[in-house]
Structure 1
Amino acid sequence: MAVPLLGEHLLFTLRSPRLPTHAGQVSFPGGVVEPGEGVVEAALREAEEEVGLKGVEPLGFLSPTYSPQGFLVQPVVVFREDLPPLKPNPEEVAEILLAPLGELLEVEPWSEVRLGRIVWHFPWRGVDIWGVTGNILKAFLEVWREGKSPPHELL
């Protein structure tokens, strides 16, 4: 799963309502690692397939985390200084959401327990960033708050 940091924005997607799982939810670009590729290659491929994101630099990894359904996810933080042209793949993405880091740092998250796991929720501009995406966002913001910036020094 890619965690795209574009300048001072994090890129999320609003998943298509036609998808069989997690339809209409906010997520980072990501998916299954295909045979012959590693997690970085998979994250870059998925980001390009879902939103046309190219020219990013992998910075490193956040800690692996489990989704509420029990899938192990390895977040890969990727960076690009500017906001490139993006185009959502309508089969997977209903909308691209660019969240200013400053706004996300001001959100008061809340948590609940689902299927025996803590799930974080970040209410932002009328959407709920939650589930594995909320948990990854929480981890990212904790690293950011520790003062590990500029972005290339995050991980």
Structure 2
Amino acid sequence: MLTRRSDSLASHTGQIAFPGGRLDPGETVVQAALREAVEEVGLSPDHVEPLGLSDAYETVTGFLVTPVVAWVRPGFTLTTDPREVADAFETPWDFLMDDANHRREFYDAPDGTRRWFWAMPWGERYIWGATAGMLRSLWGRLHDPAREAVA
């Protein structure tokens, strides 16, 4: 499940993201993920089965994100919070975990630095940056034979 961030947010407007956010004091990563899913898209924890954590991912803006991997059982109804989420949607697992759909792209920053990032365009959706990077990392954990040999 992915979201398109609201156009009214202060940063990363319109970008594709996972439901999520900062930890509240005393909260575990899984508790925060479940809470944020309720707050952002109205996904009840009754429909979510956490499976574990993916690799921590550091964004270019310095945030350290720990993705929670979970099964989401069918039968739910989403209610997005328009202050945070413009749209919530599902993307097929087979698409996201197919290496042929992972592209390395770049942009040239104003300071002349070339910044590389992962992108996974899906229909009219452009999944890129941290979200695509976290998905690529999960793909590596599940499918990269060289990584499995090292682990």
Q: Same fold (TM over 0.5)?
A: yes
The one of the two structures with greater contact order (alpha-carbon pairs below 8 A, sep at least 6) is 1
Compare the two structures and name the one with the higher helix fraction. Answer: 2
Q: Is 2:49–2:70's contact at 8 Å kept on the other side of the alignment?
A: yes
Tell me if 1:86 matches 2:78: yes
In structure 1, C-alpha distance between the alignment counterparts of 2:28 and 2:115, rounded to whole Å: 26
Which range moved further: 75-84 or 13-22? Answer: 75-84
State the 1:92 CA deviation: 0.6
- Counterpart amino acid of 1:110? R
Gaps of 5+ in 1: 1-10, 147-155
1:78-127 per-residue CA deviation (whole Å, 9 max, x = no partner) reads: 21232521111111110112111223325242243877875211111122
After TM superposition, the score normalised by the length of structure 2 is 0.80
Q: Is 2:119–2:129's contact at 8 Å kept on the other side of the alignment?
A: yes
In structure 2, C-alpha distance between the alignment counterparts of 1:134 and 1:34, rounded to whole Å: 25
In structure 2, C-alpha distance between the alignment counterparts of 1:131 and 1:46, rounded to whole Å: 20
Aligned to 2:14: 24
1:56-86 per-residue CA deviation (whole Å, 9 max, x = no partner) reads: 1110011101112111111111212325211
- Seq. identity, %: 40
Aligned to 1:36: 26
Equivalent residues, number: 137
In structure 1, C-alpha distance between the alignment counterparts of 2:133 and 2:49, rounded to whole Å: 23
Aligned to 1:53: 43
- Counterpart amino acid of 2:56? P
Aligned to 2:106: 112
After TM superposition, the score normalised by the length of structure 1 is 0.78
Q: Is 1:68–1:131's contact at 8 Å kept on the other side of the alignment?
A: no
Gaps of 5+ in 2: 145-151
Higher radius of gyration, 1 or 2: 2
Q: RMSD in angstroms over aligned alpha carbons?
A: 2.2
- Aligned to 1:132, which of 96, 120, 130? 130
